[in-house]
C-alpha cells in the first residue's frame, strides 16, 4: 500500500458536498475507513478525530471518515456527535474496494462483505504514505495518526 498512488475519489459528504482527492493536492489527507455509522467502535473512533480536528487542521491536513452508508445516515451520525469534518459516503464501495478494504467478514457465524477498519494517510503528492491496517475503534487511534503526522510535518 505505502508508495502506491491513492485512488481518485469524488464522494458526497453528510451535507451533500462532493469532495475530490484533487481538491486537496499539496497537503496531507487522512482517510479513516469505518464499518457503520453510529456503532460503538465507529463512534469512539470518529469522536477521537473530532476532538483533534483543530490539531489536524493546524498541520494543514484534511480528515475524512469513509464508509458505505449514504449521506443521510452520515448526516444523522455527524449531527448526533458533533462531528466537525466530512464523512464521505461510498455506497457502491468503489473507493473502499480500490483501497483493498471491502472484505469478507464474519460475525456470529455469518459471513458477509463489509468495510475493514483501516486508516490511510495520502501525502501531498497523492501517494499513500502511511497505512494502519488494523486501526482500532477507539479515541486513541486519532492520537496515533496525529503523532505520526506531527513527526513528518515539523
Q: pLDDT tens digits, residue range 27-60?
A: 999 999 999 999 999 999 999 999 999 999 999 9
pLDDT of residue 61: 97
Residue 47: active-site member: no
pLDDT of residue 142: 96
CA angle (25 as vertex; 49, 147 as ends), nearest 5: 35
Query: How far apart, in Å, are the Cα atoms of 64 and each of 31, 112, 121?
Result: 5, 25, 10
Q: pLDDT tens digits, residue range 60-73?
A: 999 999 999 999 99
Task: Assess whether pLDDT exceeds 80 at residue 107.
Answer: no
pLDDT of residue 88: 98
Tell me which residue of 128, 136, 146, 145 sits closest to 35, measured CA to CA. Answer: 136
pLDDT category at 3 given cuts 50, 70, 90 is: very high
pLDDT of residue 86: 98
Question: Structural domains in the chain?
Answer: 10-14+29-153 (3.40.30.10)
Cell representation of residue 1? 500500500
Return the beta strands (E) in the chain as ranges.
Answer: 10-12, 18-20, 29-33, 62-67, 87-89, 102-107, 110-115, 119-122, 128-132
What does DSSP assign to residue 126? S
Cell representation of residue 14? 453528510
Q: From the candidates 31, 42, 62, 115, give the one annotated as an active-site residue.
A: 42
Tell me which residue of 114, 125, 98 sits closest to 10, measured CA to CA. Answer: 98
Q: pLDDT tens digits, residue range 108-154?
A: 888 888 899 999 999 999 999 999 998 887 889 999 999 999 999 86
Amino acid at each position: 500500500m505505502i508508495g502506491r498512488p491513492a485512488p481518485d475519489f469524488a464522494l458526497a459528504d453528510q451535507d451533500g458536498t462532493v469532495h475530490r482527492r484533487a481538491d486537496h493536492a499539496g497537503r496531507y489527507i487522512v482517510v479513516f475507513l469505518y464499518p457503520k455509522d453510529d456503532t460503538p467502535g465507529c463512534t469512539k473512533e470518529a469522536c477521537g478525530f473530532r476532538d483533534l480536528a483543530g490539531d489536524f487542521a493546524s498541520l494543514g491536513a484534511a480528515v475524512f471518515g469513509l464508509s458505505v452508508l449514504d449521506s443521510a445516515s452520515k448526516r444523522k451520525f455527524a449531527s448526533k456527535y458533533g462531528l466537525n469534518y466530512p464523512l464521505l459516503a461510498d455506497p457502491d464501495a468503489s473507493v473502499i474496494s480500490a483501497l483493498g478494504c471491502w472484505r469478507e467478514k464474519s460475525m456470529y457465524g455469518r459471513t458477509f462483505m463489509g468495510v475493514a477498519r483501516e486508516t490511510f494517510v495520502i501525502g501531498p503528492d497523492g501517494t499513500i504514505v502511511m497505512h494502519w491496517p488494523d486501526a482500532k475503534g477507539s479515541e486513541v487511534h486519532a492520537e496515533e495518526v496525529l503523532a505520526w503526522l506531527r513527526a513528518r510535518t515539523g
